[in-house]
Amino acid sequence: MSRQTSSVRTALTHAGRKVLPESTQANPRLRQVIADRREIAAMTRDRVSSPIAAFKFYALTTPGKLVVIMFALTLASLLTGWYSSATLNERSQTLESLIDRSEPLAESAEVLYSSLSVADAAANSAFISGGRESPDLRRLYADAIASSGTSLVASADGGAPASTTSGPGARISIRDDLDTMAVQIPTYTGVIETARTNNRLGNPVGSAYLVQASSLMQDEILPAAQRLYDERSAAISEPQRTLTVPPWGMYVALFGTIVMLLGCGRYLAYRTRRHFNIGLVLGAVALMVGTLWLLVTGLTSVAAANTAKNSGAEPLHELTTMRILTQQARSVETLGLIRRSDPGAGDRNFSAAIDQIRTKASALLAEHENEPGLRDPLQQVQTSIVQWERAHREVSRRLAAGDFNAARSLTIGTGTISTASGYEQVNASLLSAIDDTRSTFRNNIHTAQQLLGYTGTGIGWLCVVAAVAVVAGLVQRIREYR
């Protein structure tokens, strides 16, 4: 008996070696004890020798797998929430910047150009009247100059890096354009006052001063103002190309996390024979709600951004260009009367501007015939252009015949057949259309911004709820293995 006990002790001491007698190896209980001791000894050696090996051993067990899955799902939910919230908040801030900064800057640049053009046309019209100009034209000129000064300050508020260029292939910076206008506008007004003084005194040199002032406006000031407007307008168009594209990355992240949750649920059902885990179900529901929320608000915001682009920004740019052409046509018309020269070149420039206005009006009318805010003013523009052209032809005929007084009356008069009346109707119609498109742009951008702002915050919190639910659901399963 003692000999058999000694053999068992030797077997336990030298685990793993085949030193047991045949009678001991035939005992099942003894073999189980020896196997357990072997496993304990191997685990102890591995844990002492390598923590990584111990972690790998634990990770291969069922509770270890559940812990790894829990951390992976929690991290995926939190990262999805952070990415979704950051992406939507960035879009919301871009939209907010569009309506709070970029669009007002573009409007200021457009008002600056238009005010300068109106001032030039008003100065020319006042000079044509001879002697003391009418109070209305004088007030129109003064208001336009004051408005241009205010708009210049507002436009300069956006700043511009020295390397920024304006126009295709141009090497003129926006800062240079601002400096040009800041210096040349006072020079222009000074020359206008000199021309006005000489005109009141009856000195013929007054017309030479007015031509010099108008040339300064047309050759230096207005090109700088147009380049400034183009740069400010581009600041609106560029972000919209990105904002009209759905956030596909967010959809991929949300759907991927939901698939991970469903896969974990199937794994638990296979291992534990329990078909549902409340935590995983709540997490999946939270993410599905977030995905549905994103789908609705995302598509709505993209639709609003597209409307702002197609019915706001794009027609606004075309309408502004048409108004610029209108001011140019009026300046050419009045300046030709001041010079009392052959109207041939002036008529060609006038006709070219009018043709461009008519072409743009027809194109916009075809695109937006179902929008009364644009359709009605554009139809009025087309009607007024016909009246303006008819009056202009009559002015040219009278001027060619040497009847300057009749030509002057048709140019600055208020009758039915008057270039001033046609010009004012075209300008008023364009202003109405510009106001409508600007309101459309701002309203739709504001709607998209509000939708994205709330959605980003909401999805972020829903992803946090999903992470907490996953932890709560899997911790209960992990505890069952203790």
Amino acid at 352: A
| Other beta carbons less than 10 A from residue 110's beta carbon | 27
> In the chain, what is the greatest distance between 2 CA atoms, to the nearest angstrom?
148
Look at residue 289 and tell me whether its pLDDT is greater than 90.
yes
Q: Give exposure, 384-398, as e/b (b: 16+ Cβ within 10 Å).
A: bbebbbebbebbbeb
| Listed residue (228, 256, 273) closest to 105, CA to CA | 228
d(CA 134, CA 122): 10
CB 97 within 8 Å of CB 454? no
- Is residue 26 classed as helix, strand or coil in its secondary structure? coil
CB 101 within 8 Å of CB 232? no
d(CA 269, CA 34): 35
CB 118 within 8 Å of CB 327? yes
Length of the chain equals: 482
Which pLDDT score is estimated for 226? Answer: 86
Which pLDDT score is estimated for 11? Answer: 46
Helix, strand and coil content of the chain, in percent to the nearest 5, comes to 85, 0, 15
Which pLDDT score is estimated for 168? Answer: 43
What is the model's pTM?
0.72
Which residue is it, tokens 């002790």? Answer: 9
Q: What percent of the chain has pLDDT over 90?
A: 11
Structure-token pair, residue 300: 């709505």
CB 24 within 8 Å of CB 7? yes
Q: What percent of the chain has pLDDT over 70?
A: 78
Contacts of residue 193, defined as CB under 8 A and 6 or more positions apart, other chains included, come to none
Give 413: exposed, middle or buried? Use CB within 10 Å, 0-12, 13-18, 19+: middle
d(CA 117, CA 188): 12
Which pLDDT score is estimated for 1? Answer: 46
pLDDT in tens, 60-89: 667 777 788 888 889 999 999 999 888 888
425: left (phi over 0), alpha (psi -120 to 50) or beta: alpha
Contacts of residue 24, defined as CB under 8 A and 6 or more positions apart, other chains included, come to 4, 7, 8, 11, 30
CB 149 within 8 Å of CB 185? yes
Look at residue 15 and tell me whether its pLDDT is greater than 60.
no
Give 76: exposed, middle or buried? Use CB within 10 Å, 0-12, 13-18, 19+: buried
What does the DSSP 8-state code read for residue 134?
Answer: P
- Is residue 46 classed as helix, strand or coil in its secondary structure? helix
Q: Give exposure, 205-241, as e/b (b: 16+ Cβ within 10 Å).
A: ebbebbbebbebbbebbbbbbbbbbbbbbebbeebbe
pLDDT in tens, 395-439: 888 877 777 778 778 877 776 678 888 888 998 999 999 999 988
What does the DSSP 8-state code read for residue 133?
Answer: P
Residue 230, φ and ψ in degrees, nearest 5: -60, -40
Per-residue pLDDT, averaged over 265-272, amounts to 77
Which pLDDT score is estimated for 36? Answer: 62
Residue 437, φ and ψ in degrees, nearest 5: -70, -35
Q: Secondary structure of 220-241 in the HEC alphabet? A: HHHHHHHHHHHHHHHHHHHHHH
Distances from the Cα of 28 to the Cα of 19, 35, 398, angstroms: 16, 11, 128
Distances from the Cα of 317 to the Cα of 102, 109, 156, 237, angstroms: 14, 12, 20, 10
- Mean pLDDT of the residues in the chain: 79
| Domain parsing of the chain, residue ranges | 2-47, 62-110+239-479
pLDDT in tens, 373-402: 888 999 999 999 988 888 888 888 887 777
Strand intervals (E) in 3-125: none
pLDDT in tens, 217-254: 888 898 888 888 888 887 777 666 667 777 888 889 99
